[in-house]
Structure 1
């Protein structure tokens, strides 16, 4: 079953469960129960009609409004590390996302995102710039594409949103336009997805938009899918490398701190990561914990996994061919024994949808 179908099924099951619980709860309000509490099923203790005073279940699900959330402070286009409080007066009904990365999370929690900025069209996205793992979902929800990595504030204002979501970092940030965005006159919330797992950012977006239960549903459906995949696959030769081929024959290895590595750990596999004696610790990789880069001359010391999952982010030649082109990997165990398995471009950036796609691919590759 595909990730989208599984997600819809989990939502449907949750809805049925809620309806059943409400039905059983009403059935339980019998005269016998009333004698225990001293009140009737239709009236409160003071004789008023309890139905007229009770909160509508749909309103109850919206939580408390207005609510105050934390938003990152931006100064001269850069996050300062501090936060400020932003008040959201009512549950949002028209959200504009300036961040294509955060749009996937909004869709995952069923938040009413009506328009979004996009990435450049390419291997990871469709012609609108929507990421391939959720582009179909966005089309079904009628999400309008506003731009491709070049924010247009007039287009944001034209959508008449009641909430604007901005990423603090990344190629899809609109942090430099934050002051102008605030002039639109609606709450603007700035988030940093770069230092959080997809589950953490999903929970945060759920709280901001009033879709906490949907965020919890998404995370639970992922966990359920992990358990299902573990049951459906056979033994996988350990340890496992997760690699992303880079320029000039370099290899990026995903660690347990990365979103990709976390999926491997959730499956109970042994993730192999090169140590400081092999990996680069200079430049952009100094202090970085989610990925370790290894140059081509050291690739054989790092690609020691019996099983290799390779991310083909540019969609060109197969990962196995890229690995075979590195001279030091001529005798690598996974290459000689045909144990290199390719993950699609969507595995480069992990959200709910791409995490589920990875699980689908793993189930297909290693089915019993």
Structure 2
């Protein structure tokens, strides 16, 4: 209704439609089964790499080097398939790869980035801990000097791609502040166990990482990251993708509800002909379109090098909050049919409960925006 495509370049439209076609062909036919079985489609990684979607907004080392808007549109189309698929891609590109690309040595970049970009290896990002989520400054994971080596001890929780990753970026407290380390799979003392019985993001691998005296050489440290600015800079990259991504889930819910409402007959007419149904659809579309314009504006700011962290918080706060409300509203239009995996709506709604929490809870983003408005930090 807003002719949104006219605001995009030819290349941006091509990327969006290419990802949309990939999701239609390779994701939609199987996603309900993956979700029900709790299976992450990691076998798609080489195909995602071949399309240039892994670390696509980074340059060099086999990365596509697209602009931020194109990356956001790709996230939107991936999440229209499932939030778990978008999480796999965004953790790979915006957390694992970005941490190496931004803060790693040239040797670390050459070793890992080409394989991660091609989907020949998977990465994860170990920041959150069992007792420290929104307060990463309280982390307990330690890295101690042992000769010329480092020895890491601690636990990380809610780690996407954790048990399937070939390399983990792990953040730990040192005597010199918080530092990042690359921990390859199979390193003695490093184990990953999956979180079971999830009701959300079931088509995504979520793990706990245990580091029990993990010995690493000096070369495993990311040399250009010091303090919390390093991991928080990575999180800001991932949050940007969510600003677009959540709208993909919302759009899929709205399209499903419209299609269902125009064919479902009650009281001898399609339920789309009733005023209350049309009011729900109109309000949902209004919030979706507003969210799209907000996301595009933030993307243009990012491409111009002007995007601030509090602006990303504003985008994530609004778009995820509205996406989950759109999903819930659309579910009511489907009635009882809306709770089954025959339709994607409740799957999206369940996934968005996690998206509402990870990469900064809604409450944290409210406080970030509040600090930007008042100049007063309310975190403590």
**TM-score band w.r.t. shorter chain:** under 0.3
Normalization by structure 2: what TM-score?
A: 0.27
Normalization by structure 1: what TM-score?
A: 0.28
Q: Which has the larger radius of gyration?
A: 1
Higher relative contact order (Cα pairs below 8 Å, separated by 6+ residues): 2
In terms of fraction of residues, the more helix-rich structure is: 2
